[in-house]
Chain A
């Protein structure tokens, strides 16, 4: 796509990095320290690491990975529930590839599949409806993870299932919302932040306006960013500018994809089928109304009502994913990082998901 190509142009990327560094130097001179920004989105974490932006800016800007990796914030008990779901007789478990390697207390979905459980990786939630139609004698359960970008797709699957009159399809909802977790992080006051790099694709659904709580209640600036190196650098630059001007404002630096009010069709679909519910976040605990669950009216599609799963208390490990997710601990400060816990043999979800802070760190930042 020609109009998008300049955003990954190497020469423009390098010049953009220079520009950010110049501005960051001003900030450091004024404040005697580096500016500290949190990238909320896990795909940003990965893009920052993979493109080299994070390494390039390392001396001038501190970037902390936020809670926006759906796999990483999934609670241990939830993963254990998903794995025990796969043991339900006559069930086919469908999931995004991301969840397959996440370790539960005993094993992962991939290992459960190896044991002969019918677990299928799909590209889209709608693919699981086709599986449901082809297997009328089986119960098809979709593992519904995701933030606001993905949640409308889950609602769309329910809508389709309803229209097609499918009775053997349900979703195990464990979705997460951006605003409640950002509020929880800011209210806890554990990390000192100067601003947020806001998630581009969640914002496609939510719109720029959804972040007004940041400026109004927390006096916190934020910039909505895309994922290519020039987009990331431009957004970090604008965030620096806001900090230097002491302005708590939200800038939409991804205006060709993100509008002020978001995607109306996606929002209304979510509203029709879903309502807020409490969610457990790994390392953070339960945050009230921080996820969306199926409305009572659609309980036929709610796997949590359809199947009664009992799980034991999760096994304790030295894994510090919980603190990593909250930005309190850097991956290498975890005693397991790159020793007992590697992408090939992950212990915590932050090492499993490609966008997990630990995996991104292991793959892209580790020099030795």
Chain B
């Protein structure tokens, strides 16, 4: 087999066939499904969660993962934070010609690994090869299907004043890991991306804690943007304490060097949890007994519900508050 992907791999002929057989089927193990143009499967109960996402991360390999692991974990997390049990997913690969075959194999294998860990099956896929320069090495598009068990639904309607806001761990790890891996700004960091599937942790929360109002994974745009979106969509005001937000020292350091605000850095293995304050301690216990939630912390409270879009406030160590907005445009390093 050739060492690099070329345009013929996407022409539907012999090379495409070999690529599917040798790379994708081998990793995802679904020979039966590939005989049809669609995957046909049964799915119970009737409440279904469906999500789609595209992954264009640069570089495609980074400390703590690669674009494939990210695509599976990202899809799983989108389903899981909606309260669904992830079941099936699809993966469409847009490959820039010239991508080393061994890179593709490694990526596909880590997808299979991550899917195995998360208990989701990759049951349909597609491959397209585009000319050099038409894509940046590899893009992956996914769809995910999950089922929502009755009795374990999230209750955003019950959000009320005093509800606790819990964060499952440190912020900014993914953002800084990617930045450092890009080597563009000279930042040297041992930071590893937090990229991980959260569905196991979320299921144990949903099954043991009553009063979970809502879950959200603060991916691009970071913690602040995710919370602003929750406040606006679910009509509540909240206040988070600057000093309570878990953040690693090296992330602080990297942000100081480049002039970034960690509140806006991307995360790929963290979640925000709004929960009845009476259940706060129990929720923390469940989170902290899981490796993906060991640094969980209460970062703030809901301060009231509103009739329209709510606001996010940050309490400074001086005791003053200021409102936070969603990320405005690109994050750029600054000297001023």
Contacts and interface: CB of A to CB of B under 8 A. Distances in A.
Question: Does chain A touch chain B in the assembled complex, meaning CB atoms less than 8 Å apart?
Answer: yes
Interface of A: 8, 10, 13-14, 17, 42-43, 49-53, 55-56, 69-71, 96-98, 100-101, 110, 121-124, 127, 146, 150, 229, 342-344, 353-355, 362-368
A150 B316 contact: no
Given A10-B243, A123-B186, A97 B320 contact: no
A27 B188 CA distance: 49
Contacts of B333: 96-97, 121, 123
A10 B186 contact: no
B44 interface: no
B325 A364 contact: no
B336 A353 contact: yes
A96 B322 contact: no
Contacts, number: 93
Contacts of B329: 101, 110, 343-344
For the side of the interface on B, what is the size category?
A: 20 to 34
A52 B336 contact: no
B189 to A, nearest CB: 14
B245 to A, nearest CB: 13
Contact of A98 (B185, B321, B332): B332
B318 A343 contact: no
A121 B332 CA distance: 8
A17 B328 contact: no
A262 B92 CA distance: 59
A21 to B, nearest CB: 12
Contacts of B187: 123
Nearest to B186: A123
Given A55-B322, A342-B328, A96 B335 contact: yes
Given A121-B333, A146-B335, A343-B325, A354 B320 contact: no
Contacts of B243: 10
B259 interface: yes
Contact of B322 (A17, A342, A365): A365
24 contacts: A8-B317, A10-B317, A52-B318, A52-B320, A52-B321, A96-B333, A97-B333, A97-B335, A98-B334, A100-B332, A101-B330, A101-B332, A123-B186, A123-B187, A124-B186, A146-B335, A229-B317, A229-B318, A343-B325, A343-B328, A343-B329, A363-B324, A366-B322, A368-B323
A354 B316 contact: no
B176 to A, nearest CB: 14
A355 B320 contact: no
Given A342-B328, A366-B323, A51 B336 contact: no
B264 to A, nearest CB: 11
A13 B318 contact: yes
B258 interface: yes
A52 B322 contact: yes
B335 A150 contact: yes
B185 A123 contact: yes
A343 B318 CA distance: 25
Given A10-B243, A13-B317, A364 B336 contact: no
